[in-house]
Structures are given as structure tokens and as C-alpha cells.
């Protein structure tokens, strides 16, 4: 039970750190800049341009998908993706990454990247997906995080459905 409480605190701390980091980004209206289909049973909150999506089927603070505010698309998508991911890893205190083969590619709509890894953190292990798309409207990233491998695998199909429907509804500022 103590480990579970530490995991919840670590995820909450990571969310607070993310919100502090994006506070320096240009203000985004509290209305979503994305269009997507929210999985059944999930809730949504928006603060500082960051959308936090959580499944009600999981204990509070143990699983979430975080949609970061879109940014202008840089000249080199892969470099931008790796830079954004590295900054988030550092801000969240993630260490000892054990990644699965990263995926990069391009569709007719534009470039995409996916990075899956487990990490160590002060609050325990973290299982994460960093997913990004580049579109004429900007660079968008979703981070899916779970406090256990079991929760990650259980909820990943819903997070994947969310990702597959994600579109930038408003251009990046």
C-alpha cells in the first residue's frame, strides 16, 4: 500500500511539474485545441493548455494521458520530438530508461514518432508512451503514463484509440 501511495504522489508531482513547465508557453484558451474521441469512462481537464485525460476505471493518479499544447512544427521533426521528450524526462525526474525500439515515419498527413519505455523515478517505476505528430497546424505530443506495467497494458488499447482519433483543431501559436 505504501508503494501505491508513493506512485500516486509521483504521478501527481509529475503533473504539477508539467503544468509549471508549460506555464511559460503562450496562453491557450481552456477550450481544447484538439479534436478526438474520448474513450468511454474517461474524464478530461484542461489547465494551462495541457489536457489531462484519465480513465475512471483506474485508481486516481495511476494512469493518465496528457495532451501537450501544440507548438509550431520545427524544421526537423525527429530532432524536435527527441528534444521535447528529453525535456519532459528531465523535468519529471525519469531515469534508467528501458526503451522499446522507437518508431518514426511519415504518412500522407505528415511525420509521426513513438517512444515507449519504462523508467525509474522517485515514486517508483513508470511505464510511458511519448507519441507525436507533425501536421501543417503544428507539432503535437501525447504522453501516456501508468504506475504499473499491468495498468499500462490494460489501458493502452483505450489510449491507442484516443491517439488514432487525435487531430489538431486549432493551429499552434
Number of domains forming the structure of the chain:
1
Place of cell 511519448: 130
pTM for this model (two decimals): 0.78
Contact by Cβ (8 Å): 35, 70 = no
Q: Is residue 112 part of a domain?
A: yes
**41 half-sphere exposure, CB direction, 13 A CA radius:** 9
62-117 confidence digits (pLDDT tens): 999 999 999 999 999 999 999 999 999 999 999 999 999 899 999 888 899 999 99
CA distance 86 to 91: 9
CA distance 160 to 149: 16
Q: Is residue 41 part of a domain?
A: yes
Domain CATH number, residue 82: 3.40.1000.10
* Confidence label for 27 from pLDDT (cuts 50, 70 and 90): very low
Q: Is residue 101 part of a domain?
A: yes
Please determine, for residue 30, whether its predicted confidence score (pLDDT) is greater than 70. Answer: no
- Show the domain range for 149: 2-168
Q: Is residue 10 part of a domain?
A: yes
Q: Is residue 173 part of a domain?
A: no
Place of cell 489531462: 52
pLDDT at res. 2: 53
Please determine, for residue 34, whether its predicted confidence score (pLDDT) is greater than 80. Answer: yes
Amino acid at each position: 500500500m505504501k508503494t501505491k501511495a508513493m506512485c500516486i504522489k509521483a504521478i501527481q508531482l509529475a503533473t504539477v511539474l508539467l503544468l509549471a513547465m508549460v506555464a511559460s508557453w503562450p496562453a491557450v484558451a481552456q477550450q481544447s485545441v484538439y479534436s478526438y474521441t474520448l474513450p468511454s469512462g474517461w474524464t478530461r481537464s484542461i489547465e494551462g493548455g495541457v489536457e489531462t485525460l484519465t480513465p475512471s476505471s483506474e485508481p486516481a493518479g495511476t494512469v493518465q494521458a496528457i495532451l501537450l499544447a501544440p507548438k509550431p512544427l520545427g524544421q526537423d521533426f525527429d530532432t524536435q520530438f527527441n528534444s521535447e521528450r528529453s525535456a519532459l524526462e528531465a523535468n519529471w525526474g525519469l531515469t534508467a530508461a528501458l526503451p522499446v525500439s522507437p518508431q518514426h515515419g511519415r504518412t500522407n498527413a505528415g511525420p509521426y514518432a513513438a517512444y515507449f519505455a519504462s523508467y525509474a523515478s522517485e515514486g517508483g517505476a513508470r511505464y510511458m508512451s511519448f507519441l507525436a505528430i507533425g501536421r501543417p497546424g503544428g507539432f503535437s505530443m501525447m504522453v501516456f503514463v501508468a504506475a504499473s506495467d499491468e495498468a499500462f497494458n490494460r489501458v493502452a488499447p483505450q489510449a491507442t484509440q484516443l491517439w488514432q482519433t487525435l487531430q489538431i483543431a486549432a493551429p499552434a501559436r
